[in-house]
Structures are given as C-alpha cells and as structure tokens.
Amino acid sequence: MYRIIKVLNNNAILALDREKKREIILLGNGIGFGKHPGEEMKMIKNAKIYTLVTKKKQVSALKVVNGIKPVYIEATGRILEEAEKVFEHVSHDSLLPLADHIALAAKRAEEKRQIPNPFTPDIKVLFEKEYEVALKGREIIREMTGSEISDDEVGFISLHIHSARTDEKVSETLDNTRIINEGIRMIEEQFQIDVEPDSLAYNRMMSHIYYMLVRTRKGEQVKADLNEFVQLKYPKEFEVAVKICAWMEKELKTEVKREEIGFLAIHILRIVDRE
C-alpha cells in the first residue's frame, strides 16, 4: 500500500511506500487523476516505481521534488524507459538526479547559456549506446517541454545514463573521461603524432584506458604480466606507458598495478604503428 504525499500531475505521484517505509515516485498515464494527498492507494498496473535519492540525505524528497517541474520528472521517466530497452539493468535511483539536471539544462537553453562539455566527442565513443539513448532523450525533452538542449548537454545526460546502468557516479565517469583524454594527448605528444579520433585504434585505446581505470579504482588487476617481454621488445612504448601510469596514480591517488603497464604499452604500439 502507498500513501499519497503529493500529486505532481495527472501522470505522476509522490508517495510513501508503507511497507518499505521509503518515499517513491509513481509514473503512469492518468495515475494522479482525481487523487489527493493522504489517500491510500494500491499499486497500479503498468505504473513505474522510482526510488528517490537526494544529494543530501537530510533533504527530504518532497523538498527536492517541489524544486523540479513535474514535466521534467515525466520526461526523465520516459528517458529511463528508453534506456531499459537497451540495457539489462537501469537503476531507478537515478530519476531525481537526472530530472534535476534536465531541468537545469532546459533553463540554460531558454536563457541561451551553455555549459561546455569538452569531453563530448570522447563520451560519444566510450558510451556509444548511452549517447544514442540521450539523443532520444533530447527528442523527448523537445516534445514535452519545447526546450532544445545542446550536444554538450546530451553528453552530460549520457553520463547520467551510464551511471544508472553501472552504479558508477557521474562525477567519477566524467573524471575517467578527462584522464583518458589527457592520457591519449600524452601519447600524441611523446610520439609526435595526431591520432584520428574516429579511428579504430583510438576507440580501442579509449576503451582500454577506461577499463584500466575501472580496475584500478576497484583494486583489481590483470592476470597476465607482459612487462618483461614488452620492455625488451618495445622499450619506447613501455617507457611512455610507465609515465602515463605514474601520472594516473597521482590523479587517482591510488596504485596502478604494475601489470597494467605492459598492456597499455601494447595499445600504444598499435596506435603508433597506425600513424
């Protein structure tokens, strides 16, 4: 059973899950019509349940919801439904953070203000499927609110979708993207080359560094050790890999396992050989 806290509009309700003692948002066609705060209601067929997570635990969900127009919450629900068509797992905890971001993005668009996202090209490569969902999200936002968000905002929404499917924090994903971008720039600088962003080698390098960062943050390591072989066979690539791993340790403030060096050097070799 649910107790209605607030009817957001005809299609959205903020309620208390009596059994689990938590606040939720229910989204579904017409579920709010004729309903009033304080009423008890059973689960409605085809309605979506979204658990609520706020940035500060002491801030109530009602206060956060009151600061977001219901149309943005509805639009976000539709975007997450699009994500569920593509990905096996999409956390419903992401509704409010993403709705809050979309509301601010729409406001910036209306005021002709934009926050540049220098990593949008990298996000498109690293999180291709998330970006495709975010593009559909832009259409949903335009259809429901009339706001036209930029490509850079689509990039930010992609990060939220990635966070929803992996439980990785948006800030962490953005930081990983920054480190990847800088790591590839270091390779270009060391070998005096320009790597074509649309090339397969570039895409593979980005993916390798991303999963390398994920492993490092989790304290995991690769099973094989290629360091001795790679250092002997490809000393320059190995040297650059050592420099990049040392720099990453400073950025992450955690140890990069030594086994990562050899694998990174091999990916560097692939890029250098193609340029």
Q: Which domains does the chain have, with CATH numbers?
A: 1-54 (2.30.24.10), 68-167 (1.10.1790.10), 181-274 (1.10.1790.10)
The structure tokens listed for 94 are 């992401």
Residue 42: what pLDDT? 86
Answer yes or no: are the C-beta atoms of 101 and 70 closer than 8 Å. Answer: no
Q: Rounded to whole angstroms, how far apart are CA atoms 140 and 186?
A: 39
To the nearest 10 degrees (0 to 180), the angle between helices 200-218 and 170-191 is: 130
Answer yes or no: are the C-beta atoms of 31 and 49 closer than 8 Å. Answer: no
Which bin fits 253, alpha (ψ -120 to 50), beta or left (φ > 0)?
A: left
How distant, in Å, are the alpha carbons of 107, 121, 123, 131, 250 from that of 174?
Answer: 22, 13, 9, 14, 17
Residue 182: what pLDDT? 97
Residue 21 sits at the vertex; the CA angle it makes with 20 and 26, to the nearest 5 degrees, is: 80
The structure tokens listed for 57 are 């635990």
The structure tokens listed for 28 are 């579904």
Kindly state the helix (H) or strand (E) to which residue 41 belongs, with its residue range: strand 40-41
| CA nearest neighbour of 184 among 175, 194, 169 | 194
Kindly state the helix (H) or strand (E) to which residue 12 belongs, with its residue range: strand 12-17
Answer yes or no: are the C-beta atoms of 262 and 226 closer than 8 Å. Answer: yes
Find how far residue 152's CA is from the centre of its chain. Answer: 13
Answer yes or no: are the C-beta atoms of 4 and 15 closer than 8 Å. Answer: yes
Residue 195: what pLDDT? 87
The residue type found at 89 is: H
The residue type found at 158 is: S
Q: Could you read off the pLDDT tens digit of each residue along the chain, which spans 275 residues? A: 899 999 999 999 999 998 888 889 999 999 999 999 999 998 788 889 998 765 555 456 778 888 999 999 999 999 999 999 999 999 999 999 999 999 999 999 999 998 899 999 999 999 999 999 999 999 999 999 999 999 999 999 999 999 999 989 999 999 999 999 999 999 999 999 998 888 888 899 999 999 999 999 999 988 889 999 999 999 999 999 999 999 999 999 999 999 999 999 999 998 988 65
Residue 19 sits at the vertex; the CA angle it makes with 70 and 71, to the nearest 5 degrees, is: 5
The structure tokens listed for 79 are 């975007």
